[in-house]
Homo-oligomer: A and B are copies of this chain.
Amino acid sequence: MIVLNGGSSSGKSGIARCLQAVLPDRWLAFGVDTLIQAMPMSMHASDEGIEIAADGEVVIGPEFRALEAAWIEGIAAMARAGARVIVDEVFLGGAASQQRWQKALDGLPVLWVGVRCEGAVAAAREVARGDRVTGMAQSQAAVVHQGVVYDVEVDTTHAESLECARAIAARAR
């Protein structure tokens, strides 16, 4: 398994797609967005689920955490059943978020990847995307890496997704 962690608009999804293109085997790619889309509409913008404030701050409620725990178990089971899986994640809780995944992935070979991007550049890309609440990129840029331990780190501030993916793939072998 490969777990990519980085803030909003840091380029994780692009790197995941490039990894699927450059890695020799067929890899499945899932992200926290897959989980959010699977949740009922009533959990979007609710204090039980996930709420995105006007300034881009993301607040996670207890119901979200409960479903997320099952989701993580499911992803781990896919890997145990033989699938190669890339996960792109936003560790809003830093080290505590990583520990949730580490516990579930216990015994599986995992490559932990930090995807960094300077806050100002991520914020500029957020404007260019036009589909995210302004402020998420800047507010998450540093906090998601606090206390997290990586096998590889890439920085998309000045490097293309494909270059970053090649660096990660080299380590995955």
Chain A interface residues toward B at CB < 8 A = 11, 14-15, 17-18, 20-21, 26-30, 34-35, 37-43, 48-49, 63, 66-67, 69-71, 73-83, 121, 124-125, 127-130, 158, 160-163
Q: A26-B39, A42-B21, A128-B161 are in contact. Are A83 and B63 (CB under 8 A)?
A: no
Partner of A26, one of B28, B34, B63, B74: B63
Partner of A17, one of B20, B66, B129: B129
> Are B21 and A28 neighbours in the complex by a CB distance under 8 Å?
no
Copies per complex of this chain: 4
Whole-angstrom CA separation of A71 from B124 in the bound complex: 29
For A38, what are the chain B residues with a Cβ–Cβ distance below 8 Å? 28-30, 34
Q: Could you write out 28 A-B pairs with CB less than 8 Å apart?
A: A14-B128, A17-B130, A20-B40, A20-B42, A21-B41, A21-B127, A26-B48, A26-B49, A26-B63, A27-B40, A28-B67, A30-B38, A41-B130, A69-B81, A69-B82, A70-B82, A71-B83, A73-B78, A73-B81, A74-B74, A74-B81, A76-B77, A77-B77, A77-B78, A125-B160, A125-B161, A127-B162, A128-B161
